Amino acid sequence: VMNVITIEDYKSTYWPKLDSAIDQLLTQSPGDYIPISYEQIYSCVYKCVCQQHSEQMYSDLIKKITNHLERVSKELQASPPDLYIERFNIALGQYMGALQSIVPLFIYMNKFYIETKLNRDLKDDLIKLFTEHVAEKHICNLMPLLLEAQSTPFQITPSTMANIVKGLYTLRPEWVQMAPALFSKFIPNVLPPAVESELQEYAAQDQKLQRELIQNGFTR
């Protein structure tokens, strides 16, 4: 028989363990080894769900991650323009990487509280937090810098550009309308099909890209 976990036990013993693990997952760099016991955290979540602390735990998790993302957003605001794109890419990658560990750890809470009581999904909720607290606040600064970087070959790596554009599309597909040509380079079928009358324009764009490549030392 499981010992009763009071709300005081939850606040003084169980949540601090979860809090510390979430902290480490949110701030790790890709490839870092984190000295946390996944089994212990998983078991902690399971016990709290069984003892009816899901609502409190969900509320604590959302508050914790929101505070983290508000800090991330402030740090990005302080970034100089030449580092802004790269730092946004790191923040996005780090957060999406953290979710790959955080979401499975809270699988019981997701199954027995978020899905059944709230009719939602934890991963969707956490992605929405990044959209609201980071991406929406930065999209108007980020998009002109991405367009400028796109028109200056090799200003940022193609993989960084691809990660950000695909990431923004995942967060909010309608952002395509802000820069359709940019999104179409990385997301299939976001533009309407080519029409014959525009073929000359496509050819001119292609020739412009070829010229830029040659100017930057790339031979055909």
Tell me the helix, strand and coil percentages in the chain, rounded to 5. 75, 0, 25
**Domain annotation covers residue 1:** no
Distance CA 23, CA 54 (A): 19
Asked if residue 36 lies in contact with residue 19, where contact means CB atoms within 8 angstroms, the answer is no
**Domain annotation covers residue 210:** yes
Backbone angles phi, psi at 179, to 5 degrees: -155, 70
**Domain annotation covers residue 61:** yes
62 or 220: which leads in pLDDT: 62
**Domain annotation covers residue 145:** yes
pTM, 2 dp: 0.83
Please report which confidence band the pLDDT of residue 1 belongs to, taking 50, 70 and 90 as the band edges: very low
**Domain annotation covers residue 26:** yes
Backbone torsion region of residue 189, taken as left when φ is above 0, otherwise alpha when ψ lies between -120 and 50, otherwise beta: left
**Domain annotation covers residue 20:** yes
CA-derived radius of gyration, the chain? 22
At 45 the pLDDT is 96
- Count how many domains the chain has: 1
Sequence-distant (6+) residues with CB within 8 A of 175 are 139, 143, 168, 169, 183
Can you tell me the mean pLDDT for 113-139? Answer: 97
**Domain annotation covers residue 32:** yes
- Full domain range(s) for residue 154: 7-216
62 or 178: which leads in pLDDT: 62
**Domain annotation covers residue 2:** no
Which of 163, 103, 162 has its CA nearest to residue 129?
103
CATH of the domain at 134: 1.20.1310.10
Cα separation of the two ends of the chain? 73
For residue range 139-171, what is the model confidence (pLDDT) as tens digits?
999 999 999 998 887 788 989 999 999 999 999
Please report which confidence band the pLDDT of residue 220 belongs to, taking 50, 70 and 90 as the band edges: very low
Q: How much is the mean pLDDT over the chain?
A: 89
